Amino acid sequence: MSETKTYTGSCHCGKVSFEVTSDLKQVLSCNCSMCSRTGALLTFVPESQFKPINDGPQTTYLFNRHVIQHLFCNSCGIRSFARGSLPNGDKMVAINVRCLDGVDPKALTITEVDGRSR
């Protein structure tokens, strides 16, 4: 999947939904304490490529260096995306690829990342 296209995504109950434009070229499987427990597969996009559709009630969770806002749906508990900034200050959104409609994770090239050691 290297074609840039717009995907829809959501939490399990649909109270949080969004559109994201991505080529899904870089999808990461991180072994940090958060990602390993949730099974998230992440791709990162500039904030300009992310559009909330339903911004339902969410809880923000910060851990480690407190630089990424992990957002969880207050109804179903799914973390479909997180917000943060790159080292240069540009805003980015980390998308949980498992929450995108019509995307088969088995068809993606997934890079393992050692987030546990950071």
Residue ranges making up the domain that contains 9: 5-112
Tell me whether residue 32 is exposed, middle or buried, using C-beta atoms within 10 angstroms of its C-beta: 0 to 12, 13 to 18, 19 or more. middle
How much is the pTM?
0.91
Residue 117 lies in a domain: no
In a domain? residue 72: yes
Residues of the chain with pLDDT under 50: none
CA distance 21 to 76: 25
Residue 1: predicted pLDDT: 54
In a domain, 90, yes or no: yes
Residue 26: which CATH number? 2.170.150.70
By CB neighbour count within 10 A (0-12 exposed, 13-18 middle, 19+ buried), where does 17 fall? buried
The total number of structural domains in the chain stands at 1
Answer yes or no: is 118 within a domain: no
pLDDT of residue 63: 83
Strands 5-10 and 16-22: antiparallel
Q: What is the pLDDT of residues 63-81, one digit of tens each?
A: 877 788 999 999 999 999 9
Residue type, 64: N
Is 76 within a domain? yes
Evaluate whether residue 83 is within a structural domain. Answer: yes
